């Protein structure tokens, strides 16, 4: 049987992926994962079984929400990467577009969408991670997809015109 520690260790690559997509910044993402691991190991006595992976996603999601709350009190920062678009075609541009589209989402919607499409969690699992009913997860998902579609439909021509 895997120990708690081993189970935690196995989640690290996926946590990094989730955090990277959430923050769109490799360093901030790894900070978030680091804090998540510290919390998880300190709270081991509270873990009485169940799915370690969901538990880790829950901690990371909560910490990310706290992080954004504290950022909201500071002046808004725009990432250089977000504004710098030298080439608006090809797969590179597609990757940048999806990155900017994700950035345009409300945090809870971004959590829900990424947990489903990137991390492969079921609606039920996402509901547990976010601490909301499944219906709420589904409406977050629907709004996230509509927003991304609007963003991509509206944004691409603008970019081309700028170039």
Partner 1 sequence: MIDRETPVTEEELHAYVDGELPADRREAVGAWLAANPEQAALVAAWRAQADSIRARYGDVVNEPVPERLHLDQIIRNDITHSRTRGRTWAAMATAAALVAFIAGGGVGWYARAVTTTAPAVFDRFTAEALDAYKLYVVEVRHPVEVPGSEVAHLRQWLSRRVGHELNIPDLQSLGLKLVGGRLLPGPTGAAAFYMYEGPTGERFTIYCGKAGGPETALHFKSAEPFASFTWVDDKVGYVVSGPADRARLEAVTKVVYEQVDKTAEKKG
Residues that bind partner 1 (CB under 8 A): 3-5, 8-9, 12-14, 16-17, 20-21, 30, 33-34, 37-50, 55, 58-59, 62, 91, 94-95, 97-99, 101-102, 113-114, 116-118, 122-123, 131, 138, 141-142, 145, 148-149, 152
Rounded Cα distance between 155 and 85, Å, is 12
Minimal distance in Å, beta carbon 144 to partner 1? 9
Q: What is the SS3 assignment for 145?
A: helix
Question: Pick from 59, 63, 42, 55: which is nearest to 7 by CA?
Answer: 55
Q: What are the residues whose beta carbons fall under 8 Å from the beta carbon of 25, sequence distance 6 or more?
A: 79
Q: Of the two residues 19 and 75, which places its CB atom closer to partner 1 in the complex?
A: 19
Minimal distance in Å, beta carbon 148 to partner 1? 5
Q: Of the two residues 73 and 76, which places its CB atom closer to partner 1 in the complex?
A: 73
Q: Of the two residues 3 and 78, which places its CB atom closer to partner 1 in the complex?
A: 3
Question: Pick from 102, 89, 92, 95: which is nearest to 156 by CA?
Answer: 89
Minimal distance in Å, beta carbon 43 to partner 1? 5
Minimal distance in Å, beta carbon 162 to partner 1? 21
Q: What are the residues whose beta carbons fall under 8 Å from the beta carbon of 32, sequence distance 6 or more?
A: 19, 22, 23, 60, 63, 64, 67
Minimal distance in Å, beta carbon 57 to partner 1? 10
Rounded Cα distance between 139 and 112, Å, is 10
């Amino acid at each position: 049987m895997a120990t708690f520690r081993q189970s935690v260790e196995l989640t690290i690559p996926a946590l990094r992926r989730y955090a990277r997509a959430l923050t769109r910044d490799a360093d901030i993402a790894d900070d978030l994962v680091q804090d998540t691991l510290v919390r998880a190991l300190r709270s081991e006595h509270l873990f009485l079984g169940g799915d370690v992976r969901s538990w880790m996603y829950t901690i990371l999601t909560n910490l990310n929400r706290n992080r954004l709350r504290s950022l909201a009190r500071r002046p808004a920062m725009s990432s250089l990467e977000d504004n710098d678009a030298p080439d608006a075609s090809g797969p590179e541009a597609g990757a940048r577009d999806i990155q900017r589209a994700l950035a345009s989402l409300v945090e809870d919607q971004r959590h829900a969408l990424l947990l489903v499409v990137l991390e492969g969690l079921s609606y039920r699992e996402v509901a547990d991670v976010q601490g909301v009913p499944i219906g709420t997860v589904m409406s977050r998902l629907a709004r996230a997809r509509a927003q991304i579609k609007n963003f991509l439909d509206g944004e691409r021509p603008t970019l081309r015109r700028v170039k």
